[in-house]
Amino acid sequence: MSSLPIPASAAPAPPALLSASLLRRFDVPGPRYTSYPTADRFVEAFGAEEHAQALRQRRDAAGPRALPLSIYVHIPFCESLCYYCACNKIVTRHHARAAEYLQDLLTELRLQVDLLGRGAPVSQLHLGGGTPTFFSDEELGMLMAALREAFDFLPGAECAIEVDPRTVDEARLARLAALGFNRLSLGVQDFDAQVQKAVHRIQPAAQVFALTEAARRLGFSSINADLIYGLPRQSRASFERTLAQVVALRPDRIALYAYAHLPERFKPQRRIVAEELPDAATKIDMLARAIERLGEAGYAYIGMDHFALPEDPLAVARRQGRLHRNFQGYSTQPDCDIVALGVSAIGRVGASYSQNAKTLDDYRDRLRQGRLPVVRGLALGRDDVVRRSAIMAVMCQGRIDFETMGAANLIDFPRYFAAELQALQPLAAQGLVRLDAHELEVTPAGWYVVRAIAMVFDRYLQADRLRTRFSKII
């Protein structure tokens, strides 16, 4: 496959072609920009006390019009090891460990709420992992009860949970719905039996289809399916079959991730046979075919690796210019503070980011000393805030109006970003952005390499050029 069509819904411009050769040119490492500055820039000089001060400042500044919070809870446990996984996880079949960890979460919640104040409004909750359904129904019920007691969940709040299809059945889904969860994210990755065997994750397609049908009967408002291309034993033909099954499954949203093989950083990946990985050209072709196939099936391209049905709130937000981005990816929620709970969890309060201890022992020790488990973070400077605005505008709206953004940040945008606008000229010549004296606009073709456009505004990245720690753009 040498080219792929850009969906006409992406922009009013006529359909364009994005060549596979152009995609290959951008097959380079780069940040995903779930934050700016990115998490690799966090420092240990920002710790528990600095985070506590940020919580107090929000509490003192909050009034009756306080902006709603987003809450993220990290549950690290998994019953079995998936070889591709790069998440912070603990593989165990001893479910007794969950009870102790739940008490840790409740302790951290109390410490944060004591500083933040009880009753802050919440519009979004996400339980990630690991496998959140490692918790029993009773444990999940205790967690949800504690969260509802600590915060004011607004009507229509998005409550999402990541689900390993191998760990739940329809009865379990019903209990999740009764607890207030209204969105599911199913880890599919690939339907091919040989690929599943190679990554140590066996789950028959029939199981995923049955769960999806059950979730719809139970009234879940959105179902997301995660896919990965570039896994061992994947081929163009096998991935084509997986795409056909996913289209038949018809989840509301699809997250299509590229597998990043970094065995020197992630020990589980050492079990993957490198010779079984598809080469770069095959990966590009799989991506191109996925974009083409999903477009034909009616999915709107949201950006980067996200797709959604046209009536899904994410697609509506994309069309209306209301898209946002946080540590969970693209979101319909306004740019808001994030209270993060659990080992390794990353949060944001005001102009600061914080991250909890990455090991369970360190996380638990700090809590038992009555301390917040924050071990690093960052207080943003003025330049960070300005550049974050520009990067998120590129990533979410695909457009920067120089006058509007300049006024919002008290800068002369063309002068402040003169070097960056000059650096964008080659991308403009390739048809990926449109530039004039008043605005920057990402073209339909440019949306597929939007990370490369955003990277131009990243001062830290331009300063050191050490990008190998990031996944590849394509």
Is 336 among the annotated ligand-binding positions? no
Do residues 193 and 203 lie in contact, with contact meaning Cβ atoms separated by under 8 Å? no
Is 448 among the annotated ligand-binding positions? no
Amino acid at 170: E
Do residues 423 and 456 lie in contact, with contact meaning Cβ atoms separated by under 8 Å? yes
Is 130 among the annotated ligand-binding positions? yes
Q: Cα–Cα distance between 31 and 267 in angstroms, integer?
A: 21
Is 84 among the annotated ligand-binding positions? yes
Residues sharing a CB contact under 8 Å with residue 373, sequence separation 6 or more, in sequence order = 48, 108, 343, 356, 357, 362, 363, 366, 367
The CA-based angle 319-320-324, given to 5 degrees, is: 90
Q: In which residue are the tokens 């009753």 written?
A: 119
Is 72 among the annotated ligand-binding positions? yes
Is 86 among the annotated ligand-binding positions? yes
Is 201 among the annotated ligand-binding positions? yes
Q: Would you say the C-alpha torsion 370, 373, 376, 380 has a positive or negative sign?
A: negative
Q: Cα–Cα distance between 53 and 100 in angstroms, integer?
A: 28
Q: What three-state secondary structure class fits 429?
A: helix
Residues sharing a CB contact under 8 Å with residue 152, sequence separation 6 or more, in sequence order = 119, 120, 121, 122
**Cβ neighbourhood burial of 414 (10 Å; 0-12, 13-18, 19+):** middle
What's the longest Cα–Cα distance across the chain? 62
Is 82 among the annotated ligand-binding positions? yes
**Eight-class DSSP state of 289:** H
Is 34 among the annotated ligand-binding positions? no
Residues sharing a CB contact under 8 Å with residue 154, sequence separation 6 or more, in sequence order = 68, 121, 122, 123
Is 85 among the annotated ligand-binding positions? yes
Is 36 among the annotated ligand-binding positions? no
For 357, the token pair is: 């201890």
Which residues define the annotated binding site for S-adenosyl-L-methionine? 72, 84-86, 129-131, 162, 189, 201, 226, 260, 346
Q: What residue numbers does the annotated binding site for [4Fe-4S] cluster cover?
A: 78, 82, 85
